[in-house]
Every structure is written in structure tokens, then in C-alpha cells.
Amino acid sequence: MAKCYSQVLVLPMMRIPTTRSWSAEQWLLGGMVLALAATCIGLLFGPQPPTSAHLIALALLVASLAAALLVMRVAAGRANRQMEAISRGQAGGEERAIEALRNSEAQWKEVFEHNPVMYFMVDAAGLVLSVNTFGAAQLGYTVDELLGQSVLRVFAAEDRDMVLRNVAACLDNIGRTHNWEIRKVRKDGSRLWVRENAKAVQRHDGQVIVLIACEDITERKHAENALQQSEMYLTEAQRLSHTGSFGWHVASGEIIWSEETFRIFEVERVPSIKHATVLQRVHPDDRARVQRTIDRASLDGKDFEHSYRLLMPNGAIKYVHARAHAVTNLSGDTEFIGAVTDVTARKRAEAELHEAQTNLAHVTRVTALGELAASIAHEVNQPLAAVVANAAACLRWLNRAAPDLNEARGAVRSIINDGNRAGEIIRRVRALVNKKTDQKAPLDINEVINEVTSLVQHQLQSDRVSLQLDLSPALPPVVADRIQLQQVILNLVINGIEAMQPVTDRPRQLVIRTRHDDAGQIVVTVTDCGVGIATENAERLFDAFYTTKASGMGMGLSICRSIVEAHRGRLSVTGNVGPGATFQFTLPLRQEDHAW
């Protein structure tokens, strides 16, 4: 098996001595030799000393020479031992260095072979010069199966051009690191994503090679792809539902919008925006209210919900509804996560529906007035008859021999009062018949009830129904459309009268009450003592075209509920403990803060 590493053995070189200084022993021996030589010369050529002195001197020289030789031998032995010790030390150091090198080589081999990173070494032609065991195994090959093969073998056909371009870039920039993400193909055909870091280097022999380290990022790519797919689904869902999302970091004021939110506001996409950008798009009539909502949310950190209009650059108006939930991030700061929905199409549909409901309500009002024609005629006839009678009396007072002007004036005043009463009845009837758009204004609910009951007095008398009004005094005004509330009350009163027509064994009594409840609402109830209603039919009474009357259309109560709900109230019915039923509707004293 080829290796991508080389063994380099570096041995310490021994110093070869060239010149060396003499030791003390050598100097001593040299001195003794010179002294002996001088003595011999003196004996041969100098004056002849006595024989005993000559022998003594010679003996001393020989003894000195022998001592010097002995000392020199001892010194030489010691020097040899020192040299042997040095040689053994050097040999041991070389062996330890070789062993350390072998251990280091083994460690790097382990790292190279079993590191969980795929290592490849390829030449300029793209042939695999070396690959670690882990890298080959990750691709389902043995090392021998990849050595000498083109590196393109482990890449998909559609990615091979990219591989060639990347290798060429490395060869053009020797020593510079390049990285990229690409797919590799295993021996069994399966694929994995890798991140490759590559660098081209030049070896000592001049050959250029490319070193490549590959990290398996398949799981990360799958997670990224799943996230991208999820984001794509979310983006498409937001586009289809016309709902964008946003995040608002209160401390910094930074707002992050989704792509759909930018589309709704028709603002160029940027990483983040500020509230000033939002307010620039808000309709001028709604800006102060939107600013109050923002300020309140930033102070109390509570969820909020509001609706407002957008004024676009081309003059078009959009209706949007936004709601947000407060959360606390890891830093302890408050953030809002919310959604904003473009409800312009819904508002247009609601406007068309409201127009249709208004037309239908007008028809039902006219129908109801038709049913009350006799009652209305009677109510108008009474003041007209009084006018005629008072006019005749006025003439008589004036035709007397001595005209009684005071009585005549009283008769004229009565004529004026009766005429005004007749005119008021006609005005109320005309208001109910007339088609008008919503005209909400503060009004007294008790006053509205009195106006309606004045139109049904004859109907009450004809059906022998006694009307009892239990109206709470000094009720606060409600913001409502007078004509629409008159229609609701009129319908409930007529239903109550008709519900008591079959009753013959007890008095027919209709009670209208008003009160102010603890929830801050005005409550109006209309109670009859008629035949009552079945519990299972209570909610169906408000369905369109459902009726319990043979001649009914089933639209009256349905329209009444729509009117009450349009005023943000609620209309309901319950059976009495005794006979009959009670219809009740509520009206809030304060309308919610909406721009439309």
C-alpha cells in the first residue's frame, strides 16, 4: 500500500579530530626524554664525572622515564575509557532519535489513516496518488481501488466540469487554499455532500500535487434543504393568504419583515426597518392611532391587535389587520412576533355584502311597515281627526257674536300640536322606508324604543296586548344607527305580538326593559308570554330563511342579528320559566378602536 508520507532519517554526524593539544602527561614525558637526551650528550662530550655520580644520574633519568611512561599509560587508559563512554552515549542518542522518529511517524500515520476526514492527493492530471483508509471507506472503496484512478470517478457526471475547474484554480494559485461544496458518488451509486479544502503544492522533485481534505456535510445539507423547503412553503402560504410576518425588537426598534410583508407595504426589501417606514405607509387619518398602539405595546410588553389603512404611492388604499405576541429573548429583552394580513379583498366583499344586507333590510322594513299599515293609518288618523275637530271648534269660537279669542287660540295651538304629531309619525315611517347608508351617532336607546312603540299602538290594541315599558333612566348614550336599531326593536315587538295571538287563557303582555350591566353594555330585552320556542330551535331562529310562521320569509331575525353584530353587540333568545320567550340584545357603550 502506497503511503502519502516519506521517511526521512537524519543521523547525527561524529566529529573527526584533526589537531589536538598535548596533555600534561605528554608534556612530562617529552620533558623527560629531552632531559635524558641532554644527560647522554653531557656524558659523552662533557668532562668525565666520577663513575658513581655518572651512574646515579643515569639511574635517576631511567627511573624518571619509567615513571613518565607509567603515568602516560594510566592517562591513555583513562582517555580510552572516556572515548568509549562518549561513543556509547552517541550511539544511544542516535537510537533514541531513530525510535522517536519512528513513533512520530506511526502517530501521523494513525492520524492520516483514521482521521474522520477524507484525504486525497492527486497530481496535475487528476490521478489519485494517495488516499487515506477512512476516505476510501466512506466512498465504499479500498485504497488500492482508488490509487492511480482519475479522481473524477468519485464525482457525479454533472459535477465533473466543476471539479476540473476547481483543480485548475488550485494549480493556477499554488500555495493558496480553495474550498467548495460538491457531491461525491459512492461505489454503490449513493451520493453524499462534502466540503472540500484544497491546496496545490510543489514537491522537492518539482512535481506539483493537489492536497484535498473532504468533510462530510450531508446531514447539514439535508437540514439546509429541509429549512429552505420549509421557508418556501411558508413564503408560498403567506403569498396565497396575503399574510406577512414580522419581528420587532423593542429595545433597538429594529423590525424584521418577511417577503410578503414587503409586498403588502410595497416597500423595497431591506434587512431591517424602523417604525418610521411603517408610519409613512399608514393612512394619515390612522397614523396617530397606530402610533398610540405601538407606544402602548412598547411600554407594557403585552400582546396587541389592531386594524388600519395603508395609503399607497399610487393613491390606492389597502386595509390591513395586524396582531402580535410578546416574547422574552435569551437576553431578557422583549420582542414581538406577529403577522399582518392584507384584508382589502375581504373588506370589499364585506362592503358588497353589507350593501346587499342593507337592501334586504330595507325590504324587510317596508314589509313590516306594510303589515303595520292599519296601525300606522290609525296613528296618523288620530291627530288628523283632532286637527279637524279643533279647527271646527276654532271657527265656532270665532263666529260667535263676541269672538272668544282665547279659546280660538287654544284650538289653534291644539291644531299645531296634532299636526306636529302626525308629521312626526310620517317622518318616522319615511325614515324606515328610506334607504340610507350607516349613520352612527350617539343616541338614547330609550328614546328609540319610544319612537318604535308609537308606531305599534294600534296593533297592540287590535291584538289586545298590553305593553309595559321598564326603561332604566339616565342610561349613557350608545353609538349606533338610529334607523337600524328601530328596525331591530320593531321586528322583535311584532314577533312578540304575533307569538301571543294563539293565547286565549291568560293576559297577553309584552314587556320591554333596558338596563346598564357590569360589563359596560346597554341591555335591551323584549319578553312575551306567548307559545314559547323549542330549545332545539333557539339558534336556528337566526338562520336565514328559517321561520316558524306560515307566512314568514325567515329573514327578519337573521337581519336583526347582522345589525346587532355590526354594532359589535349580540342578539340571543331564551325560553322563559313560565310561558313565552325573551329576546335580548346588547350594545357596547364604547366602540373598539378601528379605522374602518
DSSP 414-472: HHHHHHHHHHHHHHHHHHHHS-----EEEE-HHHHHHHHHTTSHHHHHHTTEEEEEEEP
Spatial neighbors of 141 by CB under 8 A, at least 6 apart, are 187
Stated as kind and residue range, the H or E segment containing 230 is helix 218-241
Cα gap 395→398, rounded to integer Å: 5
Per-residue confidence (pLDDT) for residue 161, from 0 to 100 = 92
* DSSP 8-state class, residue 154: G
Per-residue confidence (pLDDT) for residue 61, from 0 to 100 = 62
Per-residue confidence (pLDDT) for residue 495, from 0 to 100 = 85
Per-residue confidence (pLDDT) for residue 15, from 0 to 100 = 42
* Owner of C-alpha cell 387619518: 285
Cα gap 344→320, rounded to integer Å: 7
Per-residue confidence (pLDDT) for residue 369, from 0 to 100 = 56
Cα gap 374→459, rounded to integer Å: 8
Consecutive 10-residue averages of pLDDT for the chain (596 residues): 37 42 58 63 60 61 65 68 71 67 58 71 91 89 92 91 92 92 92 92 89 90 84 80 90 91 90 88 94 92 93 93 92 91 88 65 58 56 71 82 82 80 66 59 90 80 89 90 82 87 89 90 92 69 55 61 85 86 88 51
Cα gap 97→9, rounded to integer Å: 9
Is residue 401 classed exposed, middle or buried when 0-12, 13-18 and 19+ CB atoms within 10 A define those classes? Answer: exposed
Per-residue confidence (pLDDT) for residue 285, from 0 to 100 = 94
Per-residue confidence (pLDDT) for residue 234, from 0 to 100 = 76
- Whether the CB-CB separation of 364 and 491 falls below 8 Å is answered with yes
Per-residue confidence (pLDDT) for residue 30, from 0 to 100 = 65
Per-residue confidence (pLDDT) for residue 152, from 0 to 100 = 92
**What residue type is 550 in one-letter code?**
A
Per-residue confidence (pLDDT) for residue 222, from 0 to 100 = 86
